[in-house]
Amino acid sequence: MNEDAQWIIMMGFLVSFSFFFLAMVINQSTVVGQTTAESVSEFPKNDIRDTRDAILWSVNNGTDTDWVQRDMSAISLSRRDAVVGFSTFTSIDHEFVYIHFNNGVTSYNENWTIL
Amino acid sequence: MVNDGGQLYTIEGVSAGLIMLLTAYFVLNSTSIYTPGDSHINDMQLEVLGYDALLMMNTPANNTMVKSPLQEIVEQDDGQRFKTMFMNLTNNKTGSTTDRLQFSANYTYRIQTASTQNATASAFLSSSRPYTEGEHAVRVTKWVIVDKQLGSSPVHNRAVLVEVLLWRDA
């Protein structure tokens, strides 16, 4: 067998494979952050936090929590596709706020204690 | 001394193996379809920015102030103040140039009458330019508790939802 061009052929293979892997790296780099961004967008962190803030603000500063409660239930359902409810109740010497949030994917419940 | 008689065969074998591995990789990988052209990342950043801006606007300036700017804006229907404040919060950049974010804002409230309890209505608040349906906008929302007469009901503590469409002009 004639083996004169072995080195040339091997270098040719090496170079072409390196190009191939570099191309693959570039190809994958376009989707960096994709799943992260999707998770951030889909988990209703801001919705829950915002709902919770408004409810607690209303309970601490407001007078008509009844109206606020009905407002938030109706508007959440029509504009945010989420079931939201809260109620306050008093135990022996504490007042509790029960918060409920559910948008079909994520559900959040909390009992907040007002001393 | 090592005999190098089989060099070419070795190279051939290694290459064939690599080609087979690559084929298997492509076959297995072809089931997951990526859409890198999607704008999830930009959308996420816009949403976070818009939510932060609304959160800052709904924070009272200091302890002695009971109402936040956003509460006062909704109570007084002060669209001009909303525009100035929101554009400042979202468009300022380092240096003298500003960003190209545009917005259109309204707020939704519940209508309470004798016949209906759960209907909602929206009122226009402000916009930096008209929304023409062609923009790729994200929607950010914020609860605001206001003392305001909404619809025909008397003045009460009410919860309204401020909704902002936010997009970046090309």
Distance in angstroms (rounded) separating the CA atoms of residues B53 and B108: 19
B18 found inside a domain: no
Distance in angstroms (rounded) separating the CA atoms of residues B98 and B84: 13
Angle between helices A6-29 and B7-29 (to 10 degrees): 20
Q: Which two tokens stand for residue A88?
A: 């306050």
Q: Which two tokens stand for residue A19?
A: 């190009």
Is A79 in contact with B141 (Cβ distance < 8 A)? yes
> Is pLDDT larger for residue B134 or for residue B75?
B75
Sheet with B119-127, edge to edge strand ranges: B119-127, B101-111, B156-168, B138-148
Which run of H or of E encompasses B143? strand B138-148
Q: Which domain holds residue B82?
A: 40-168
Q: Is the pLDDT of residue B1 over 80?
A: no
Q: Is the pLDDT of residue B3 over 80?
A: no
Mean pLDDT, residues B16-45: 80
Residue A6 · residue B7 · CB < 8 Å: yes
Residue type, B87: M
Q: Is the pLDDT of residue A17 over 70?
A: yes
Contact residues on chain B for A33, CB-CB shorter than 8 A: 41
Residue B27: the pLDDT is 83
Of A10-19, A37-46, B25-34, B97-106, which gets the smallest average pLDDT? B25-34
What does the angle CA B12 – CA A8 – CA B15 come to, to the nearest 5 degrees?
20
| Number of domains composing chain B | 1
Residue B17: the pLDDT is 95
Q: Which two tokens stand for residue A48?
A: 């829950």
Is A75 in contact with B108 (Cβ distance < 8 A)? yes
Residue B134 · residue B121 · CB < 8 Å: no
Residue A115: the pLDDT is 67
Q: Is the pLDDT of residue B55 over 70?
A: yes
Is A34 in contact with B34 (Cβ distance < 8 A)? yes
Contact residues on chain B for A67, CB-CB shorter than 8 A: 156-159
Lookup result for tokens 């997009």: B167
* CA distance to partner chain A, nearest, from residue B93 (Å): 23
Q: Is the pLDDT of residue A33 over 60?
A: yes
Distance in angstroms (rounded) separating the CA atoms of residues B13 and A33: 38
Residue B91: the pLDDT is 93
Give the pLDDT confidence of A47-97 residue by residue, as tens digits: 999 999 999 888 887 667 888 899 999 999 999 899 999 988 888 888 889
Q: Is the pLDDT of residue B102 over 80?
A: yes
* CA distance to partner chain B, nearest, from residue A85 (Å): 13
Q: Which ipTM value was assigned to this complex?
A: 0.75
Q: Is the pLDDT of residue B57 over 90?
A: yes
Q: Which two tokens stand for residue B54?
A: 């609304």
B155 found inside a domain: yes
